[in-house]
Amino acid sequence: MKDAKLVKRKYRRGLFVGRFQPFHLGHGEAILKLLEDMDEIIVIIGSAQLSHEIDNPFTAGERYMMIRSAFHELKIKPNRYHLLPVPDSPTHAVWVAQIASYAPPFDVVCSNDPLTIRLFKELHVPVVGVPFISRDRLNSTLVRRRMLSGENWCELVPTSVAEEIKKIDGVARVRELAETDSPFGRRDFSKTV
């Protein structure tokens, strides 16, 4: 990575939103690529309030540790990124305003999600695509599925992320969240308790 001071890049600071349940190699590759065109990247840990759900097993604090370790492993310098948990907003109409109040100023949004793209475009903020590689092979849902089935999930995430997940015994948690004692299949916890 070249020195931030000497390089003239296209954007000053980009915004990248994800849930990172968990952070995988595709995230890492995309962020390295994005950093070629921007001085700094703001990584928002979205849905920060959620955890202990089958689709959202890890807390914001756990995801923060995974990403920070991954960035160290990927040799992304601390002065080139900002890592910030942000809870969901009750409605889409105010989500953009909430993101803007939690984040440092940004001059570009990095997203492939049509809704995110539309919401920022309606506010005239420029949007660039996220250069994911092998999207069908590298995604968080697949990592969680492999954790459940006992397949090799470690090969899909940075080594340091795998280590963080082992520290918190994360695979056991994902499996327990998928179990149920209902005779009709898993009850929706948010309704049950």
- Contact residues: a copy of itself, CB under 8 A: 17, 19, 46-53, 55-56, 59-62, 64-65, 68, 78-79, 82, 84-98, 100-105, 112-119, 135-136, 139, 141, 173, 176-177, 179-184, 187, 189-193
Which CB sits closer to a copy of itself, 3 or 181?
181
Which CB sits closer to a copy of itself, 1 or 115?
115
Nearest-angstrom CA–CA distance, 97 and 8: 29
CA Rg value for the chain: 17
Nearest-angstrom CA–CA distance, 186 and 132: 33
CB of 115 to a copy of itself, least distance (A): 5
Neighbour count for residue 143 (Cβ, 10 Å)? 25
CB of 8 to a copy of itself, least distance (A): 21
CB of 187 to a copy of itself, least distance (A): 8
CB of 23 to a copy of itself, least distance (A): 15
* Phi-psi domain of 59 (left: phi exceeds 0; alpha: psi -120 through 50; beta: other): beta
Task: Report yes or no: 107 and 11 within 8 Å, Cβ to Cβ.
Answer: yes
Q: Count H helices and E strands in the chain, helices first.
A: 8, 5
Which CB sits closer to a copy of itself, 89 or 159?
89
Task: Report yes or no: 119 and 99 within 8 Å, Cβ to Cβ.
Answer: no
Instruction: Identify the DSSP state of 156.
Output: G
CB of 109 to a copy of itself, least distance (A): 12
128 closest CA partner among 8, 2, 7, 16: 16
